[in-house]
Structure 1
Amino acid sequence: MTEALERYITFRNIDCVGKSERVMERIQQHIDAEDNPFWPYFQKQRAQAHAMGFDDLRVLHNYLPTLRELLIDLDDETTLALLEDLEVTCM
């Protein structure tokens, strides 16, 4: 049986997928609660990225500066810390 290739070999034993999921879950709370024109755009871009086979780590990486700024403005230190940890450990 052939072993499946790991996408992020250099991040072996780091749960980058789980970290991405936790960040996206918290961001989803803002999407659901906020009236910010960025969020529908972000959701559309995320859907397009997924359709092209990209994962949420890639999506978060693409919008890192904008997300960081929004989370600071929203005073969401928890999600900001999770995003920064994701950046340091997985990007």
Structure 2
Amino acid sequence: MRHDRLDRYVTFRNIDTAGMTRAVMARVLDHVAKGDSPFWPYFETQRALAHSRGLDDLRVLHNFLPTLKELLEDLDDPETLALLEELETQCM
């Protein structure tokens, strides 16, 4: 049974989950565009597949959380890593 997408975010009232997700994904997509990891083409494919199934970017980020954290550390991007960890703490 599918639940209304809005129900998932009831507990995030007064938290800009959508804005935080957009900010993190924009920074991740900057890395995707740079092609600075062989992981990115796979990530793009999986993101498109998730979207085709009605899943949002918060779910995509959650699905790849450990990998993204490791990559961001390896890519020396503490700003994006901090945003991702804040998103994790507040919204996942």
CA deviation vs aligned residue, 1:49-85 (integer Å, no higher than 9, x gap): 0111100000000000000000000010000000000
Output aligned runs, 1:10-29, within 5 Å. 10-29=11-30
Larger radius of gyration: 1
Offset of 1:27 from its aligned partner? Answer: 0.6
Stretches of structure 1 lacking an aligned partner (at least 5 in a row):
none
Higher RCO structure, 1 or 2 (CA under 8 Å, sep 6+): 1
Residue in structure 1 matched with residue 3 of structure 2 by the alignment: none
- Cα distance in 2 for partners of 1:35, 1:88 equals 26
CA distance in 1, matches of 2:86, 2:25: 13
What secondary structure, in the 3-state scheme, does the structure 2 residue paired with 1:53 have?
A: coil
Distance 2:69 2:36 in 1: 17
- Does residue 85 (structure 1) correspond to residue 86 (structure 2)? The answer is yes
TM-score (norm 2): 0.90
Identity of aligned residues (%): 64
Residue 7, structure 1, aligned to residue 45, structure 2:
no
The two structures have a TM-score, normalised by structure 1, of 0.91
The secondary structure found in structure 2 opposite 1:36 is: coil
Per-residue CA deviation, residues 14-60 of structure 1 (Å, 9 max, x unaligned), is 11111010001001111111242210100000001011110000000
Q: Aligned to 1:54, what secondary structure does the other structure show? A: coil
Pair 1:65-2:66 in alignment:
yes
Tell me, yes or no, if structure 1 residue 53 matches structure 2 residue 54. yes
